[in-house]
Structure 1
Amino acid sequence: MTYSVTTAGAPAAQQFDLWESAVSQTFVPLEAAPGERSAFRGRLRGQNLGSVAVYEATADAHTVRRTQRAIAKGNPEVYKLGLQLHGSARLSQDGRQAALDPGDFAIYDTTRPYTLAFDDVSSTLVLMFPRDMLCLPSGHVEQLTATRFSGGSGVSGIVSSILVQLARNLDDPQVYGSVRLARNVVDLLGTALADRVDYSNVPAESSRGALLVKIKSYVETHLNDPALSPTEIAAAHHISTRYLHKLFSDAGVTVSGWIRQRRLERCGQDLADPSKQQLAIGAIGARWGLVDASYLSRAFKTEYGLSPSEYRQRSATHRSD
């Protein structure tokens, strides 16, 4: 069930206090300061998808700070991702500042101080998840806090588009697979971050994990190539195919199985996307490297229990309810 809280209806003098309490209880303890308006409009809605909290926050101008005092009140050791849906934001942490416009996102670590400033009415999608869910060492992530990731292209563009769709369907997360989708979004975020990590100082003990994340990032950006193969992937990363298979095997998956899963998930997202309702199912499959329509139908039904057309119809039905 979607959780929702709004300042509407509360006395003007109490509206901002209500907002500060809501965001502190929903996420982590925070200190906040309002803008210049005497009244404050704010709405927070969302839900927990397994270990991942997914919320949309829409509010007037204000600033929130994760201070050392707030950290002392509660420190659950989680990462947060903020994606701007409307308006702009400025995120500061670890000596960096990221200016975020619609479609952009950034990651921040709740175990250290940070500041988020919204100069006008804005809407932000926030993901919060345990730090150990991200498949990158914390030292690598620390290089990238308060760094702007553009929603325009590459893996970060894929992450952004999925999050925008998720925001549009917060009241019906089952359309996108609920807990499984949340896990996949965090995995995708890991690949986007991996592209920006400086690997020159990667410790030897974490090099295998870092390489796997980098390989997954490569795969993610080449899903549309039907000829994508373990041989090509290994060659692109200057390793043997045997070592490539071992990397994935140690992670509990096969190379081909992981590629197939990601392609089917991308097809599922397109099938559930109302802006792509005019695309033929075969065209959606070909868009993600599955050019054989009969194979797509069989594999999709095995994975989701529904044919692609049934999945699309169910998604449309959920949106109209």
Structure 2
Amino acid sequence: MRYSTSGVADTPGRPFDLEVWRSTVARTVVPLEIEELGDVTFQGRLSRTVVEDVSLFEMVATPHMVRRTPDLIADDEPRFYKLSLQLAGSMVLEQDGRTAELRPGDLAIYDTHRPYTLAFPEANQAMVIMFPHELVDLPRDEVARVTATCFPSDAGLARVINPFFVELGRNMDQLAGPHATRLVHSGLDLLVTMLSQELHRRLGPVANPARSLAREVREYILDHLGDLDLTPASLARAHFISTRHLYTIFSAEGQTVSAWIRSRRLERIRRDLGDPLFADRPVSWVAGRWGLSDAAHFSRLFKAEFGESPTSYRERILGARRGRAAEIPQQSPPR
């Protein structure tokens, strides 16, 4: 697939000046320092689509510089990753001691909870997807190894995955229908697959046996989340290690094995509750599909994790999707 190297698409709506752009980005993305580059007066257009807790942005702007400084990062704020797909022009991303230069069709990931810099030296167009850390089935320290890494459109899995995101950006109207949740999560699953491949390429099984074992255990958990007997003891037996060693592996990553299993199960259940494919299935069936067969216990866990009952969540998400299916709301700049 070929991409434009200079043609920036014209998007509808009045362009934002720098002041409005700063306030809009701070309100809908995260607080950032933003400055013009060169002698060009800043102009930009921004559209946003929200699918549950995932935000998708299409951004078109003149040259500018973006900085996420330590002073702008609060310890208690939600933690997000951002996937940036360059559609026209170029971008230079810096984070975690690495620099990635993106050309049209390339993508990279970065973490809003750590400082980063984005430089757009020319007129540019990009799609940015912002999503919570919890939607990525990889430890944060491993994702930190591949931030500010360019995944070029003509190499490896990116030849398959990048075009998916390109087409998603060109067909944002498809995110107004009832199947938006499944579509977005399918894209994130593809991204995690690409990140996992890159981590395996860099680290390999020999570089750090303990880390390799931890990765193997996590993959086993994900493949067996629906098993009722998935416990630390069964995991240890399956990998011929002691439960004490299993606990040590996960404690090094800042989370117990039981907590990781629980969080992955709850995230899968939440995804299915918002999926029209399972709309006619009882909530208890969805929970049991992912290994939580005690309905009362599951309901307490879900509410503690997401702040509402599973039934209320399902009604809210599916109802909102049905309500938006006929029309995509247009966003206007703040007055």
Cross-structure match for 2:153? 151
State the SS of the aligned residue for 2:71: helix
1:7-46 per-residue CA deviation (whole Å, 9 max, x = no partner) reads: 63x6xxxx11111111121111111111123522100112
1:176-211 per-residue CA deviation (whole Å, 9 max, x = no partner) reads: 931111111111100000011124331644432247
Does residue 127 of structure 1 match 2:136? no
1:208 maps to which of 217, 241, 258: 217
Contact 1:78 1:109 survives alignment (8 Å): yes
1:227-275 per-residue CA deviation (whole Å, 9 max, x = no partner) reads: xxxxxxxxxxxx9xxxxxxxxxx988xxxxxxxxxxxxxxxxxxxxxxx
Contact 1:5 1:45 survives alignment (8 Å): no
Q: How many residues align?
A: 215
Counterpart AA for 1:138: R
Q: Give the Cα separation in 2 of the matches to 1:62 and 1:178.
A: 32
Contact 1:46 1:170 survives alignment (8 Å): no
Q: Give the Cα separation in 2 of the matches to 1:97 and 1:150.
A: 14
State the SS of the aligned residue for 1:194: helix
Q: What is the correspondence of 1:178-257 to structure 2 with a 5 Å cutoff?
A: 178-197=180-199, 198-199=203-204, 200-201=207-208, 202=211, 204-210=213-219
Counterpart AA for 2:131: F
Counterpart AA for 1:208: V
Q: Superposition RMSD on alpha carbons, in Å?
A: 3.2
* Structure 1 residue 81 displacement after superposition: 0.5
TM-score where L is the length of structure 2: 0.58
Does residue 102 of structure 1 match 2:111? no
State the SS of the aligned residue for 1:125: strand
Cross-structure match for 1:141? 143
Cross-structure match for 1:242? none
Q: What is the correspondence of 1:1-321 to structure 2 with a 5 Å cutoff?
A: 8=15, 15-37=17-39, 39-72=41-74, 75-174=77-176, 177-197=179-199, 198-199=203-204, 200-201=207-208, 202=211, 204-210=213-219
* Structure 1 residue 65 displacement after superposition: 0.7
TM-score where L is the length of structure 1: 0.60
Structure 1 pair 211–195 and aligned structure 2 pair: CA distance change class (3 A): farther
Contact 1:28 1:75 survives alignment (8 Å): no
Q: Give the Cα separation in 1 of the matches to 2:20 and 2:75.
A: 18
- Give % identity: 37
Runs (4+) off by over 6 Å: none
Structure 1 pair 67–166 and aligned structure 2 pair: CA distance change class (3 A): same
Give the unaligned 5+ runs of structure 2.
Answer: 1-10, 224-238, 240-261, 266-326, 328-335
* Structure 1 residue 72 displacement after superposition: 2.9
Greater relative contact order (Cα < 8 A, sep 6+): 2
Contact 1:28 1:74 survives alignment (8 Å): no
